[in-house]
Amino acid sequence: MKGDYQDLVDEISALLGAPATLENRDFRLIAFGAHDSDDDLAMDPVRTRSILTRQSTAAVRSWFEGFGIARATGPVRIPAAPDAGVFRGRVCLPVRHRGIVQGYVWLLDQEPGPDAESLAAAMEVAQRIGLLLAEEARAGADLSREFLAVLTAGRGWQQDMAVAALRVALGPGGEGPHAAVCVSPWSGEAPASVPGAAAVCVVPWRGAGEQEPHPGGGGPAGQPLAALAVLIRLRGADPLAPALTAISRLMPRTADGAGSGAGGAGTTPGAPKPVAATRSAPAGGKATAPAAATRVTGGVTAGVSDPVRALTALPAAWQQATAAARAAAAGPRLGPVAQWSAIGPYRMLASVAEEALDDPVARALRGPANPELARTAEVFLDCAGQAGRAAAALGIHRQTLYYRLSRVEQLTGLDLDEGEDRLLLHMALKAARLHT
């Protein structure tokens, strides 16, 4: 594929009589034509850095995009800017496919400049490059930019444009059933592709730069927390099996030989490693958690959304997946991989408690002086107020349970014989778990 790009870049260079450079839409170098000019200005700092480091800086990218190259359908002439290291003007040929920009061909501007016929021929070559880039994107599933845009775009035209770009990138089947998966916390970049996934991207877990501890254990000190978003294309109604397959392929092989391939494609350095595990249903009941789950080490959890049929529903699916990941971290019985439809009250709590709730009921019990009281109250309420079950689960005598519950009532001012007081305490303790 690289040879194809080089041949096409050389063809444009021959048509226009100037060395050409091809970059993708993220300004990463793909191919460049050689030049034999004695003119020192032919290799200004911007072009030199692009060739040597195979990418441009964010400032350079922003400056060039300010001339509307991302929206242009024809050649764009850009003047020189010595202060920015651009000693020579540029001619930019936008590389598009089906209306979506795939990259840019750059040429150093010269007088009198290429004629209209040569430019038209060069644009036809640029269209062939656009087709190659689009096909490669679909084959490699490197759709992180489009996927991220859909998950983070505001409402209205921004989201419409993001969805349209993702639909084109996904190609046939783009409107079929999909599910979103949230793996958190995640360090490093998104893998280029994940077998079984239609797209992956890294999404800030909170606003950029916020350092709130993550429910699963927190991120690296001094770094914004992030999660990995995975888009799963479904063939059936159940999203869990394909989600677990994709999660298992995200991580490198563990010491005991489980996990994806030997080092596996799509692995990320420093990412936690999964070990296959099986969880059975509780005695006398049906399983409320996946029958086959993935035990993930390093404090990482994952959440899986319900299926959605339209790409416009992906932001809502992502909210479900993040809620399920938070619930998996908060409730050991749910995790480490939880499906949104099975997280019970956390479905509501995760949506209303985006920020930590400073409820005085939870505050009274969750201090360092009363850890056993908070656990006792939560287990008692999880057991539907059945003292025998709660005492057995806690491994204490029933009289000890009654004593602790009386202390809970004293500290909180609640009456645990009242349904609404029980509901308040239960929800306060569960909500606090989401931000512990």
* pLDDT tens digits, one per residue of 346-395: 887 776 655 545 667 777 776 666 778 888 988 898 898 999 999 999 99
Closest CA to 26 of 56, 68, 67: 56
| Residue ranges covered by each domain of the chain | 2-139, 144-352, 360-433
Of 2-11, 179-188, 235-244, 247-256, the least confident: 247-256
The residue whose two tokens read 């995790």 is 335
**Which superfamily is assigned to 2-139 in CATH?**
GAF domain (3.30.450.40)
Per DSSP, 178 falls in state E
**Under a CB-based contact definition with an 8 Å cutoff, are residues 117 and 140 in contact?**
no
Calculate the alpha carbon distances from 66 to 38, 63, 101, 222, 428 in Å.
31, 5, 15, 32, 49
Residue 141 has a pLDDT of 47
Q: What is 360-433's CATH topology?
A: Arc Repressor Mutant, subunit A (1.10.10)
Q: Which residues contact 407 (CB under 8 A, 6 or more apart)?
A: 370, 373
**Under a CB-based contact definition with an 8 Å cutoff, are residues 114 and 122 in contact?**
yes
Q: Model's pTM, two decimal places?
A: 0.52
* pLDDT tens digits, one per residue of 294-312: 444 445 789 999 999 889 9
Of 253-257, 370-374, 430-434, the least confident: 253-257
Most confident of 112-126, 135-149, 205-219, 350-364: 112-126
**pLDDT tier, 193 (very low <50, low <70, confident <90, very high otherwise):** low
